[in-house]
Amino acid sequence: MSDANRALITQFYQAFQRLDAEAMSACYTDDVLFSDPAFGELRGRDAGDMWRMLTTRAKDFSLTFDNVRAEDRTGGAHWVATYLFSQTGNTVVNDIQAQFVFRDGKICEHHDSFDMWAWSRQALGFKGLLLGWTPAVRNAVRAQALKGLKAFQASR
Q: Which domains does the chain have, with CATH numbers?
A: 1-142 (3.10.450.50)
CA 136 to chain centre: 21
Average pLDDT, the chain: 92
What's phi and psi for 132, nearest 5 deg? -60, -20
Q: How confident is the model at residue 139 (pLDDT cuts 50, 70, 90)?
A: confident
Q: How confident is the model at residue 156 (pLDDT cuts 50, 70, 90)?
A: confident
| pLDDT, mean of residues 82-92 | 92
CA distance 151 to 124: 21
Q: What percent of the chain has pLDDT over 70?
A: 92
CA distances from 66 to 4, 14, 125 (A): 16, 11, 28
| pLDDT, mean of residues 19-46 | 97
CA distance 75 to 55: 24
